[in-house]
Structure 1
């Protein structure tokens, strides 16, 4: 039995969903040379992807390649991705290009649909920031979509730890986190708790492993390291830390969070419960977002060069096809940034 035809989606439908005029939606979807603010471009493309608006896409692509560099990310709400996107936009503007952004919430089907739709609009390049591509049928279809886009002359760049045949930039989360674990061990911390986030987040798992390796290498007994899983974010860390404090800290002398937002949540929970940081409990994070320098005490953390990562992603994306040789794979390391949220307990005890 044939499936009913999918209702026709019009340009007016896309404009309404994006909250812009029909003229603005038309400029974005037709590859017009007239400038449209990046936030409106993003809204129109997301609306088109959501509504599966694909009318005349092939004809438009044949007429003119877009000046857009399409960024597809799992989550656009974190401070770290905001720094990356801002750097991408600055770098793109140096060659009269602009960056459009779409969020997939890490959902494989949405990731595939977004990439498929954006490739149909023929962006100048596509940057995918994600910690994974799904296995199975959906992952295979996404990979083929990206490969087909490159065969037609597009460029794909991956920011994340994904084993796919495209240029990529990854952060060595494990080795970077090892620096922080070793630092806390060297400063006399012997009963740490790691706020590890959720198990399915690969960056969190890698950072947790790095923390453990650094602590063990510094002489901490494996039996004295506690790992607490919680929601990745300020609220999850606040609730996990409050529960730890409520149950009695005992000999716990340090909290290591897998990102700064979580560390800031832990600081807030300590402040609410009257726990002295760092006198009673050291707290550390990862990423070195701006707020890490603004909170009191200043966070001990690991700094990642997000601006450099964003700019480098765009430079890779804009490399002309004829300049392409082997696939480029770059790895970025973090840098330890000691702050006032941790203390040298070894020095105190001497």
Structure 2
């Protein structure tokens, strides 16, 4: 037997039940920035709860931009992305914005389709987080879709490497990796393997280039730097890549640099299984400084990125006052722990 439809409760009903004006009820329940006296606010919220009032988001979207904020990300399963999205959601919530999150696996076609669907909801701002967002992707259709959304009154913020003409927050992966590479070289290491992650992935590529430059600046010969890739930017990818290095006899390698902390953790497990001691036999470094970096033994030397800060900056740009396009670059910080040691200078 079907349930009877629940009677629609309007904002007028809530205002009447709370004994306040319609304008006051709208300010409390509509996310207005105008201040409402605490007593009146409490009465409105109590009346709304008692009447089971739900704002008609679709109607509000038809009138103009909604109070929602859309986050479009590559992958929600990685610890670094979880940290960033959690901070974004927390910051947005303090402004009264409702957050929706969609994952695209970094595929431009899925990004385009997701943005098209999100536009129909008319969010106040759209934050696109990806390793690389290219203005020429899909023959320029991605850029055109974002421009159309902006022309409708929305705001676009890109987190990641991009050439798009919108607000952006980027990580200086190249220079941070260069500093880490130089540290490894100046610690006396002379034969280094780099587990570079997925071939062609923008952030991993920038880090690999930076590692090599830093190692060379610190005195390591380019011929003594070996680069290997793995199928995933994960523990499993790092484990498999390190297994290959071990199977090939390591060729005198005295340090391994991983494109992120998860890869380093996987490599550590493979080295331990092969009875290769870290850092006594091989030093090991990561990148990002996420939780696993300090939850393994030995704890990882790594390049710490302020991931939560980047998320907060993205929301600040998304919900701030109108102004010129702003590009924020976030730098890394070297954190030395006990997965690396100083190597003695070669004799002779």
Q: What TM-score, normalized to structure 1?
A: 0.80
1:58 deviates by: 8.7
CA distance in 2, matches of 1:141, 1:169: 22
Determine helix, strand or coil for the equivalent of 1:160. Answer: strand
Determine helix, strand or coil for the equivalent of 1:70. Answer: strand
In the alignment, which residue of structure 1 is the partner of 2:63?
A: 63
In the alignment, which residue of structure 1 is the partner of 2:159?
A: 159
In the alignment, which residue of structure 2 is the partner of 1:78?
A: 78
Determine helix, strand or coil for the equivalent of 1:302. Answer: strand
**Unpaired segments ≥5 residues, structure 1:** 1-21, 24-32, 36-56
Q: What is the RMSD computed on CA atoms of the aligned residues?
A: 2.3
CA distance in 2, matches of 1:250, 1:64: 64
**Deviation digits for residues 234-253 of structure 1 (CA, Å, limit 9, x no counterpart):** 11110110111122123100
CA distance in 1, matches of 2:227, 2:125: 40
1:61 deviates by: 2.5
Between 59-68 and 122-131, report the one with greater CA deviation.
59-68
In the alignment, which residue of structure 2 is the partner of 1:336?
A: 334
State whether residues 259 and 287 of structure 2, in contact with CA within 8 Å, keep that contact through their aligned partners in structure 1.
Answer: yes
Q: How many residues are paired up?
A: 296
Alignment of 1:240-251 (within 5 A): 240-251=241-252
> Does 1:313 pair with 2:314?
yes
In the alignment, which residue of structure 1 is the partner of 2:279?
A: 278
State whether residues 187 and 347 of structure 1, in contact with CA within 8 Å, keep that contact through their aligned partners in structure 2.
Answer: no
State whether residues 160 and 168 of structure 2, in contact with CA within 8 Å, keep that contact through their aligned partners in structure 1.
Answer: yes
Alignment of 1:138-153 (within 5 A): 138-153=138-153
CA distance in 2, matches of 1:106, 1:116: 16
> Does 1:257 pair with 2:258?
yes
Between 131-140 and 156-165, report the one with greater CA deviation.
131-140
Alignment CA distance shift 1:214-1:229 (3 Å): same
CA distance in 2, matches of 1:302, 1:201: 18
Between 133-142 and 166-175, report the one with greater CA deviation.
133-142
In the alignment, which residue of structure 2 is the partner of 1:100?
A: 100
CA distance in 2, matches of 1:115, 1:60: 20
In the alignment, which residue of structure 2 is the partner of 1:228?
A: 228
**Unpaired segments ≥5 residues, structure 2:** 7-28, 32-56
In the alignment, which residue of structure 1 is the partner of 2:122?
A: 122
In the alignment, which residue of structure 2 is the partner of 1:5?
A: none
Q: What TM-score, normalized to structure 2?
A: 0.80
**Deviation digits for residues 220-278 of structure 1 (CA, Å, limit 9, x no counterpart):** 01110000111221111101101111221231000000000000000010111111000
In the alignment, which residue of structure 2 is the partner of 1:192?
A: 192
Alignment CA distance shift 1:139-1:296 (3 Å): farther
